[in-house]
Amino acid sequence: MEYNPIKQRPYLCTAACIEMILDRRNIEHDAQENIACSLGLIVPEEKSSLYACATVSNTRPKSGWGTQVQKEKYSINNYFRTNNIHLTETYRTLSSIQDVADFIKINLEKENDILVCFNNLPLDPSGGNCGHVNIIESINGDQVVLLDSDIFYPRRTVSLAKLIKAIELHGVKNRAGFWIISNTKN
């Protein structure tokens, strides 16, 4: 599947990925900031001037700054329902998948979009110890191509083992794992 890379604004990796998915599917959508705010955007006080609609906090959320999609009212599915977008997001943890490589291949063959939520540290130490979301574009053997909205060169290839380590580090409590976006079944 081909995506047009979109650079995220600070803390908006999930919203930028949703924007790329909606663009790939030719679905009209809100601006990146509005998507993020619908997904419960929380930013630190020193960044509050960047966003008109974000919640500002002095306390960093457990899952990190940015969206709060682990809460039902800020879920991706709630965003789709509210905006009459006929897509569904399904969350899958590592422990619910027998063979991660096969899982990725099968979903890509079905033309589902795969978002992956992980801790940035194992993949990009300069990015810090925080949650991050990318789109999985392809897999070839043990090599996974990620589309990242936060780097100058948006595509990077990582080993599946390294990606799994990054998912495990972020943890299920922070909704680490795979977020499968598929057409809503009628």
Question: Does the CA dihedral 131-26-34-6 come out positive or negative?
Answer: positive
Placement of tokens 């998915």 in the chain: 21
Placement of tokens 């930013």 in the chain: 43
Q: Could you tell me which residue, 147 or 150, shows the higher pLDDT?
A: 147
Residue 186 confidence (pLDDT) above 50? no
Q: Which candidate, 113, 131, 114, places its Cα nearest to that of 122?
A: 131
- The mean-pLDDT minimum among 5-19, 23-37, 126-140, 164-178 falls in 126-140
For residue range 89-109, what is the model confidence (pLDDT) as tens digits?
A: 999 999 999 999 999 999 999
Q: Are 116 and 163 in contact (CB under 8 A)?
A: yes
Run of H or E residues at 170: helix 160-170
For residue range 12-22, what is the model confidence (pLDDT) as tens digits?
A: 999 999 999 99
Q: What is the mean pLDDT of residues 100-126?
A: 93
* pLDDT of amino acid 166: 96
Q: What is the mean pLDDT of residues 59-73?
A: 91
**DSSP strand pairing (55-57 vs 42-44):** parallel
Question: DSSP secondary-structure letter at 136?
Answer: E
CA distance 17 to 3: 10
* pLDDT of amino acid 153: 72
Question: DSSP secondary-structure letter at 94?
Answer: G
Lookup: tokens for 59: 């306390």
* Residues linked to residue 134 through DSSP beta bridges, in sequence order: 116
Residue 82 confidence (pLDDT) above 60? yes
